Amino acid sequence: MRLVRAAHSRAEKVRRLLRAVGDEAESVALSVRFRRTGRRLERAEVDDSTAETYAQLTLAVHDLNLLVGKTFYPGGAGRET
């Protein structure tokens, strides 16, 4: 249960950061929202605050993917504590 709670917490952080950079499509998968947001921001002129938030988002998505990969997929390379 601890790992499930950790995954939910990390996913919520990703959702919060996506909302902060203007993506509020809550019914769309996080991975799709992240890719779409990246493409949108690449085409736009972003201020320093938005760039910092996107950097935090990128790290949060990476952390979530690591946890999910290690914990919930067969053959994961270890377990998160």
Domain ranges of the chain: 2-72
**Confidence at residue 72, expressed as pLDDT on a 0 to 100 scale:** 83
pTM: 0.86
Q: What average pLDDT does the segment 56-77 reach? A: 88
Pick from 47, 32, 1: nearest CA to 21: 47
Pick from 7, 22, 11: nearest CA to 53: 22
pLDDT above 90 (res 71): no
- Give the count of beta carbons closer than 10 Å to the beta carbon of residue 8: 10
Q: For residues 65 and 74, give the distance between their C-alpha atoms in angstroms, rounded to a whole number.
A: 14
**Confidence at residue 81, expressed as pLDDT on a 0 to 100 scale:** 43
